[in-house]
Structure 1
Amino acid sequence: MFLYLIAILIIAFYFYGTRNFKYWEKQGVKYEKPLFLVGSNLKQFIDKVSVSERFAAFYRAYPNERFVGFFEGNNPSILIRDPELVKRVLITDFRYFHHRGLHPHKTEIEPLMRNLFTVDGDIWKLMRQKLTPTFSSGKLKAMFPLIVERTEKLEKIADDLAETGKEVDIRELMARYTTDFIGACGFGIDSIALNEENSDFRKLGKRIFTTTKRDHFVNLLKRMAPETFKYLHFFDPEIEEKTISIIRQIMSARNYKPSGRNDFIDMMLELKEKGKIVGESLEKRNADGTPKIVELELDEQLLAAQVFIFFAAGFETSSSASSFLLHMLAYHPDVQDRCQKEVDEVLEKYNGKLCFEAVKDMKYLEMAFK
């Protein structure tokens, strides 16, 4: 009798774990064959690739299809290949497709995932509405002196390293440089990452972009059964606690009011001073079909999440792009000479001072960078 019950439980578990796997077949849509419980999610970990590489390969595998099905755990999902359909999803019918799937939960639980990059629905819309004007050229220009300060430090370090004649890991140097100026522009503090390879900020930056076995496992569980594992956090508690603690200390030191530093935290505190964000809902409708008016309270955690993504996205992209440019210039000395000539000529026009306008005048350098 006991073995009979076990057999029934195993069969029931199998059917539960594959309950939706016929979905795309019934719709007549080509799809990637799923695995029990995990669906299509395991492929990324087996192939040891990033999400973008996984979906780029998936996209190329079906050259004649307008769209292809796959499974997030047991949930049917779709990859759209046809540009006209993509246009409809992103523009014409956006109100039905605003959930981007970067976070599997409909209600946000994890503090750092409430950032503009991963959050969905009304929080995304209202935060985007307020944050977009924040990145005006005037605001960025006000931050520029903070970048110049760090650039002068980098110049001195580069000169010293050149004199030693030793090999230098330029990727690490640029990561420390960008960590330093993002620390200044975002957090309003001197992270000393340029001078200290193992500074707290550099360690935090490294940890954010180092995917551990724990991270892979949690990601798989959350994609497989989001509601069952919703209390597991994507970000390791070490990242979450460190980030929120740093931001809380800085905001507290400023008495939760703008300090005049013109950094990103000041921008967030200016938004907070204006009170609740009010706007039309993406998710809720009135009886007549018009969007409801919703409010968003800018609490400490929501502000911390935006500062976190400013740091994470800012330092990694900047350091990757700048170190790759330096790598390419080393292999193309003729282009390097031309860039150097332009820098010298432009700086001469501005009395040898590096400023926002001078950088905008360096057209050839910009082309090389891009």
Structure 2
Amino acid sequence: HSQLLLVEVRSKICSVCSQLVLFRCRSNVTDMAVTTGSIFVDVLIAVVPALYLVYWYITNNNDYWDKRGVPNVKKGLFWGTFLGKQSQADAVLEIYKQFPDEKYAGLFQFKRPVLMVRDPVLINKVLVKDFTYFQDRGGPIVKKDIFSKTLFGLRGQVWRALRYKLTPTFTTGKLRGMFEQISKSGDNMVDKLKEHLSTKEMARGVDPKNFLFEFTLDVIASCAFGLQFQPNSPDFNKFKSIVEKMFKFSPLRFIRFGFVTIAPKISDFLNISVSSSEAAEYFTNLTKATIKYRKENNVQRNDYFQMLLSLKEQEESGKDMSHVVPAHVTEDDAVIDQMHYTQEDDQSIDTSEKLFSEEALTSNTVVFLSAGYLKQSIANSTG
């Protein structure tokens, strides 16, 4: 049956090719064109092969998990999300429930194979005991994207070196030092609420989600970017507007995300980024201005930005840039700092790439913003 079908396809191709006319363009004898005399057929000849190549590129590894004997689903993880049928979390949960008796399952993020680990023992090995073998996040990131210099975008040794340096910045002691900034943001929110209650706007009631959103932004602006906004100031409203644009969902942004996932190298070559270019420019300029102000005025502040700035100064001075992972670290210690766990001899995590350039500082303050913003949004939506 398949051979008869192949013969029929060949005969159709020969029939179409017999109608083609080959001619030279008058403007340039070296240029030639192929036409059938029908615009519809000409377009069809051009479009059909292109569509086939796209289809082949997307589906050519559909048997990836089958070849490895891994139970899997053929449906791409984000197609339902793209069509607006379900959220990403619901899509993951649906796949998770399809394999109740399996320790792991395979799925596809568009065309990219992804392994979902379900077994607690395996999860413990991946995240703790054998963490040294599971480097970086693995997601596609365009090099010029604002998130490219974060732990989400880096790979291999560069990722390990950055993670090793950033881990101490999130200890309870360092975070406790930011309490004063958080308290100040809380006072600003209380003052704003009192002002709102004393005006005619009180008749329209209070929007708790908006107040909590602005409080969260004020805390992040203070702790991550070192900015102390006045309530309802033009600068704060600008900051809020940029953040909303940065995380606002749109079909075009999702198409970009899909293209970056399916063809990361082409996306990198064409400089196709998922992030908002306006937001990237705003935060880049904000980082440069903050660095300049602190250096010129010798400002030291207990915030995340100051920690990054200190790491940048260490890097520029050549201090503490050779990071040694000690051997024979216990698994209990690994729970505290996963980067210290290794079964091998002492290893040096060293890289010639700058970890704390101005671009990297921008990336890591923005990722701080994204973590706080998204969690607050989820809390509001379920409140």
State the TM-score bracket (shorter-chain normalisation): 0.7 to 0.9
- TM-score of the pair, normalised by structure 1: 0.73
Give yes or no for contact 2:103–2:118 (8 Å, CA) kept in 1. yes
The structure 2 residue matched to 1:141, chosen from 172, 176, 186, is: 176
Q: Percent identity between the aligned chains? A: 26
1:349 alignment counterpart: none
Q: For the residues of structure 2 that align with 1:320 and 1:100, how far apart are their CA atoms?
A: 22
Q: Which residue of 2 aligns with 1:268?
A: 308
Equivalent residues in 2 for 1:192-207 (5 A)? 192=230, 194=232, 199-207=237-245
User: Shift of residue 238 of structure 1?
Assistant: 1.2
Find the counterpart in structure 2 of residue 98 from structure 1: 135
Shift of 1:113: 2.7
- Residue 294, structure 1, aligned to residue 363, structure 2: no
Aligned to 1:240: 280
| SS of alignment partner, residue 71 of structure 1 | strand
Please report how far the alpha carbon of residue 89 of structure 1 lies from its aligned counterpart in structure 2 after TM superposition.
Answer: 2.3
Contact 1:173–1:194 (Cα < 8 Å) also in 2: no
C-alpha deviation, 1:156, in angstroms? 2.3
**TM-score (ref. length: structure 2):** 0.70
State the secondary structure of the residue aligned to 2:177. helix
- How many angstroms does 1:250 deviate by? 1.1
Cα distance, 1:200–1:64 mapped onto 2, change above 3 Å: same
TM-aligned CA deviation for residue 99 of structure 1: 3.4
TM superposition shift of 1:169? 1.2
CA distance in 1, matches of 2:273, 2:313: 30
The alignment of Structure 1 onto Structure 2 pairs a total of residues equal to 314
Structure 2 residue runs of 5 or longer lacking an equivalent are 1-13, 18-44, 326-337, 339-343
Distance 1:211 1:16 in 2: 27
Say if 2:322 is the partner of 1:278: yes
Distance 1:79 1:140, change over 3 A: closer
2:80 & 2:74 partners in 1: Cα distance?
Answer: 11
Within the candidate set 155, 158, 166, 1:131 is matched to: 166
Q: Distance in 2 between matches of 1:60 and 1:18?
A: 24
Q: CA-atom RMSD, angstroms?
A: 3.3
Q: Secondary structure at the match of 2:323?
A: strand
Separation of aligned partners in 2, 1:166 and 1:97 = 53
Unaligned runs of 5+ in 1: 283-287, 328-370
Give the whole-Å Cα distance in 1 for the aligned partners of 2:350 and 2:297: 25
1:256 to 1:126, Cα distance in 2 relative to 1, 3 A: farther
Q: Secondary structure at the residue paired with 1:153?
A: helix
If you compute each CA radius of gyration, which structure gives the higher value, 1 or 2?
A: 2
Contact 1:24–1:69, Cα closer than 8 Å, also in 2: yes
Aligned to 1:184: 222
Deviation readout 1:1-29 (Å, 9 max, x if unpaired): 69467677765654444222222233333
Relative to structure 1, the CA distance from residue 41 to residue 317 in structure 2 (aligned partners, 3 Å threshold; closer, same or farther) is closer
Any conservation in 1 of the 2:78–2:88 contact (CA below 8 Å)? no
Q: Which residue of 2 aligns with 1:357?
A: none
CA distance in 2, matches of 1:57, 1:258: 53
- Of 51, 55, 59 in structure 2, the residue corresponding to residue 18 of structure 1 is 59
